[in-house]
Chain A
């Protein structure tokens, strides 16, 4: 379950770019204050945008945005391109390893602009 996102405060660093930069059903990577954030665009889902840290904690490389997205038992996931572990797009939870979780970030669509905020979302355990 996701807790309600904290309202964006004016001090949080953000990245803004056009939706046309993103490929449908794929990932891309944005950089905010040297933090790499993998951004996924799934136009048929609600919400259509997801943001996770780009670091694969099990593969130990910045590669998550290059993974294939899909679902496992209905949960939206990205499969690590290195060793294929699944990370939940919604919560960052690793489906294969309870102890592993990737930070997730606020992301929204305003008009044609994608806005990613460097404000880690918290999730109920």
Chain B
């Protein structure tokens, strides 16, 4: 078989997708790519990001080298001038000729500029290519005001670009509303209000009649209603027109209003010529989005690679961020079409205060989703799209999908409920079937499935759905998600804790000998160190423990990106005297540390070199400070409000209680960090409900809340017990913490731990309050042991010269790490960025 010559005209997103896929397909082809632009394909969808810091290189989808590697001949900056169908070759502007067996036209589209007098004046621009951006930037430099003509998807994207350039930005739209194709009136009105809040002026129902030189600015636009607007530049972004000239000249069939006519296989009227992307006309429509373009490319490809698929049109649902605002549109968003001969119904949720607008259009019987509009909040988009694309039956009360969810509500859709044909990843067009296939082919994790199917490697928006699908499928196959600590210990943390306790084991070597294999690693060593600390509470830098400690525990400070450390002295309850504040200030000044107030009412000191830590702590300890354990999986801080000592509303002394709690539990090691807070009244100024254990004062005592956290997945704590006296409060916390320390998994916060306890909160109450397991006394005495053996690790360390040796930067030199370079910002140091560092190091 002779190798077929394939010529791809156009190197936009779709042309590149086609060439890249064909080249990496096992079937051998001789592929030539001809791009009119001077550079290889780039991501046009995110063009405006060039004005918010991205470089054109960041947008690149490929490189000349990549094409070389995959054996594609690529030529850029020389447009194709004509097609010679008789000789089966194309001829470029420079007269180069490229013969083809099959020709693929991926010539894309050009921006439509309305035929308004004056629209060719200098300062009238378009927005399509990286070169266009250069023009826009050049004109923006000379002016202050910019106008975008067109209030559609592209127009608003372009308005974002102008705004990023610092121009006073206007959007001029001919129609009465913004994004009229995708949004209904209500959604459009909400979007307009949100855009105007961003200081972008919106003018709708404006027909531009002519453009003339302006008086105060470069140009003046005169509108049909007699008004006018002066501006320094105008960008036309009022729709696209297909680039079909080559096809016209070659007598290929084109639509009346443009577009190269194609069939299901993306073939033009010449069966050796394909057209894909925005230049192609299918079923009388141009598909001006990238995903349908990719589907066309797939269909055209399949003609050469023996697994034919056809292009059947494409869903034009879309989700995007315009000027930072989430906008989504699915199906028949206007709800105007009849469904099976009957008018449809719609549900609407509109919230002016939070700027959210959601509408769903459903069939007459309420069973099928026909369309949706989302503005301000697209979190329901993926769910709605799955209902829509898979024609799935809606729940009995469809409005529940768009109404604000009650906290803790189960997700409506999970991987298991979707049909095999459901598209999980719409960027890469990966179906649930493909994911299941990958699992059957041996994939055992989300990461495996990602690398095999490429799902979730585009925008990443489908990751949660992908994960739930993979997890559910794995579980259905009986794959045991094993909870072994690592390859060295075939036990969970809880099991290992038990083994160490029962065997009274006191060193890693013994534990590895008895229960593990190999030499250990950075997962099991710190876990064992933590368990040993929870059980026996020996000095963490003791000779047999020191090599087990995680980075931060190892040097009793928090390593930062440049290898320097931050340190946090304990400030119990956030209460500190003026004298101590002064000491912190003096120390920070002396060692030139960056200081920042933490969220836990403490002070973090950054930029300490490892060799400076002992001296710094020497001064802090001398002034009465203790270590704050900011480096450890341990109690961090107990935040408090001032309580009834000062506050008019306080009902208990929250500061004293916070200090008592913090001093009681400081230093104990736990599976993850622990945070706490005490509020002096129900106003909850200390935010106790966002903590692992939080205390809120009542008229009669204290309410205890457990298992809350902030961070990546915030969770409000649950009310555990009410109106406790001081003694009972402490007793419950003792038991609660010790039970957590015993039974939680490695790096499992209290909230996840409780969720995984069978019986959840009620079970936890039974164990802690009612002592149904009969272990309360044991938990209390274990806690008592930890409290009695507390030591300030820094105090112990600075008193031991042998330990201090470890804090030298070099064994054989007093020099410092020359790679640590600081610059000044707002009167303090910060690590130099890479570019700054290079400049500074070259100077020195």
> Are A and B genuine complex partners?
yes
Q: Determine which of B487, B526, B559, B810 lies in contact with A66 in the assembled complex, contact meaning CB atoms within 8 Å.
A: B559
- Contacting pair B551 A66 (CB below 8 A): yes
Q: Are A61 and B526 in contact (CB under 8 A)?
A: no
Query: How many Å lie between the Cα of A72 and that of B525 in the bound state?
Result: 13
CA A79 to CA B812, docked complex, whole Å? 24
Chain A hits for B559, CB < 8 A: 63, 66, 81-82
Q: Give A99 Cβ to nearest chain B Cβ, in Å.
A: 15
Of B563, B806, B813, the contact of A31 (CB 8 Å cutoff): B813
Residues of B within 8 A of A23 (CB): 543, 546-547, 806
A58 nearest CB across to chain B (Å): 12
Closest to B564 in A: A61
Q: Is the contact region of chain B dominated by helix, strand, or loop, or is it mixed?
A: loop
State how many residues of chain B have any CB contact under 8 Å with chain A.
38
Q: Given A61-B562, A66-B554, are A76 and B519 neighbors across the interface (CB < 8 Å)?
A: yes
Report yes or no: B811 in contact with A70, Cβ–Cβ below 8 A: no
Residues of A within 8 A of B819 (CB): 55, 61-62
Measured in the bound complex, the distance between the Cα atoms of B523 and A84 in whole Å is 10
A69 touching B547 in the complex, CB below 8 Å, given contacts A36-B817, A79-B521, A84-B522: yes
Which residues of the other chain, B, contact A68 by a CB distance below 8 angstroms?
A: 521-522, 525-526, 547-551
Q: B817 and A72: CB pair below 8 A?
A: no
Residue A7 lies at the interface, judged by CB distance under 8 Å to chain B: no
**CA distance in complex: A113, B759 (Å):** 60
Which residues on B sit within 8 Å (CB–CB) of A62?
A: 563, 817, 819-820
A102 within 8 Å of B (CB atoms): no
Residue A24 at the chain B interface, CB threshold 8 Å? yes
Contact with A along B526-567 (1 / 0, CB 8 A): 100000000000000001001111110011000101110000
Residues of chain A from 36 to 88 with CB closer than 8 A to chain B in the complex: 36, 39, 55, 59-63, 66-74, 76-77, 79, 81-82, 84
Asked, given contacts A23-B806, A36-B817, A76-B519, whether A70 binds B525 with beta carbons under 8 Å apart, the answer is yes
Closest B residue, CB atoms, query A16: B812
Contacts of B817 in A (CB 8 A): 36, 62
**Which chain B residues in 621-661 approach chain A with CB under 8 Å?**
none
Given contacts A23-B546, A61-B561, contact A70 B520 (CB under 8 A): yes
What are the residues of chain A within 8 A of B549 when measuring CB–CB? 68
Please, how many angstroms separate the alpha-carbon atoms of A111 and B835 in the complex?
Answer: 46
- Nearest-neighbour CB distance to chain A for B815, whole angstroms, equals 6
List, in ascending order, chain B residues with CB within 8 A of A109's CB. Answer: none
- What residues of chain A lie closer than 8 Å to B554, measured between beta carbons? 66, 81
Residues of A within 8 Å of B487, CB to CB, are 72-73
Residues on B with beta carbons closer than 8 Å to the beta carbon of A36? 810, 817
Residue of A nearest to B806 (CB): A23
The CA-CA distance from A62 to B808 in the complex, in Å, is: 14
Whether B518 is near chain A, meaning CB under 8 Å from some CB there, is yes
CA distance A79 to B525 in the complex (A): 12
User: Is the beta-carbon distance between B561 and A82 smaller than 8 angstroms?
Assistant: yes
A29 with B809, Cβ < 8 A, contacts A61-B561, A62-B817, A81-B559 known: yes
Residue with the greatest number of chain B CB neighbours at <10 A, chosen from A23, A29, A30, A70: A70
User: Which of these, B520, B546, B562, B810, contacts A26 with CB under 8 Å?
Assistant: B546
Task: Tell whether B818 is near chain A: CB-to-CB under 8 Å.
Answer: yes
Cα–Cα, bound, A16→B524 (Å): 33
Which one of A61, A70, A82 lies within 8 Å of B521 (CB-CB)?
A: A70
10 closest Cβ pairs, A-B complex: A70-B521, A81-B551, A79-B522, A61-B563, A25-B547, A68-B522, A71-B519, A31-B813, A63-B563, A31-B810
A contacts, CB < 8 Å to B: 15, 17, 21-26, 28-31, 34, 36, 39, 55, 59-63, 66-74, 76-77, 79, 81-82, 84
Report B's interface with A, CB cutoff 8 A: 487-488, 518-522, 524-526, 543, 546-551, 554-555, 559, 561-563, 610, 805-806, 808-813, 815, 817-820, 834
25 contacts across the A-B interface (CB closer than 8 A): A21-B811, A23-B543, A24-B547, A25-B547, A26-B806, A29-B809, A29-B810, A30-B812, A31-B810, A31-B813, A36-B817, A39-B811, A68-B549, A69-B547, A70-B488, A70-B519, A70-B520, A71-B518, A71-B519, A72-B521, A73-B487, A77-B521, A79-B521, A82-B561, A84-B522
A sample of 5 more A-B contacts (CB under 8 A), given A60-B834, A70-B525, is A28-B811, A29-B809, A29-B810, A68-B551, A70-B522
